[in-house]
Amino acid sequence: MITGVHALIYSPDAEKARAFFRDVLGLRHVDAGEGWLIFALPPAELGVHPEEGDEKGRHELFLMCDDVHKTVDELKAKGVEFTRPISDQGWGLLTTLRMPGGRELGLYQPRHQTAI
């Protein structure tokens, strides 16, 4: 039986990315040894979409929130840079933030019924 999901984010500056998840996003964590932090995630859901065009083998990770405008304001106050304005996708309000190391991470407020 499946008991959980272990997701990975690769970063050119893993140390700063770990600090971001720990200090800015405030995620609980354990040290798996030698500073390798493993973060507890909020409840999650998984969507399976058909591949289109150049999406073969692509996976995405989005953080979810109840109020994207409020969350963006709170994260901007902590120095987080947003790389795309909030856009209405129909199924939710979506934006993208920059993690340390330059990678982007989606943030959205769902409008659809969630599984969590």
Q: Give phi and psi for 88, each to the nearest 5.
A: -90, 115
**Token reading at 77:** 């106050």
Q: What is the pLDDT of residue 16?
A: 95
Q: What is the pLDDT of residue 105?
A: 95
Q: Exposed, middle or buried, 22 (CB in 10 Å: 0-12/13-18/19+)?
A: middle
What residues pair up with 38 in beta bridges, in sequence order?
Answer: 30
Give the separation between CA 4 and CA 74, rounded to whole angstroms. Answer: 29
Per-run averaged pLDDT (10 residues), the chain, 116 residues: 89 94 97 93 91 84 96 97 97 96 94 91
Alpha helices by DSSP H, 1-116: 14-19, 68-77
Quick one: DSSP state of residue 90? S
Hey, what domains does the chain have and what are their CATH numbers? 14-43+58-110 (3.10.180.10)
* Token pair 């340390």 in the structure block, residue: 100
pTM of the predicted model as reported, rounded to 2 decimal places: 0.88
